[in-house]
Amino acid sequence: MSTSEQIRPEITVLSEEHKHRARRQLLRRRPACGGCGGGDFQVGDALYLGFLFLHEDTDAYMVALTCTNPACPAAHTGITLRGSEFLTS
Ligand SMILES: [Zn+2]
C-alpha cells in the first residue's frame, strides 16, 4: 500500500506558499461558487493551460478550487490565474 498520492504529471502541485498567494488573488477577484453562490474556497493544485489553448496567456494556469459549503451541490470549480500571480517567489 502506497502512502504517497498518485499525482498526474500534468498537474502542478502547489506548495502552501503558492496556495497562500492564490488565496490573495481570490480575495481580489472574489469569485462566486457556481453551485451555491458561496465565496469560500479551498485551493488545490494547478493545471498549466498556456501551451494547450491559444486563447490563454502563455503563463495561464487553472487553479483547482473546492467550495467549503458542505451542502454545495457542485463544490469543484477552478479559476484561471497567471503563473506570475501565484507561482513566483
Ligand atoms: Zn458552493
Q: CB-based burial of residue 27 (10 Å sphere; 0-12 exposed, 13-18 middle, 19+ buried)?
A: exposed
Average pLDDT score, the chain? 90
In the Cβ-directed half-sphere of 19, how many Cα atoms lie within 13 Å? 12
Distance 52 CA to ligand 1 centre (A): 28
At residue 3, does pLDDT exceed 90? no
Cα separation values, 31 from 39, 57, 73, 88, Å: 6, 20, 17, 22
Distance 69 CA to ligand 1 centre (A): 6
At residue 2, does pLDDT exceed 70? no
**59 or 50, which is more confident:** 59
Q: What is the pLDDT of residue 50?
A: 78
At residue 26, does pLDDT exceed 50? yes
Confidence band, pLDDT 50/70/90 cuts, at residue 4? low
At residue 58, does pLDDT exceed 90? no
Distance 67 CA to ligand 1 centre (A): 5
Domain locations along the chain: 11-86
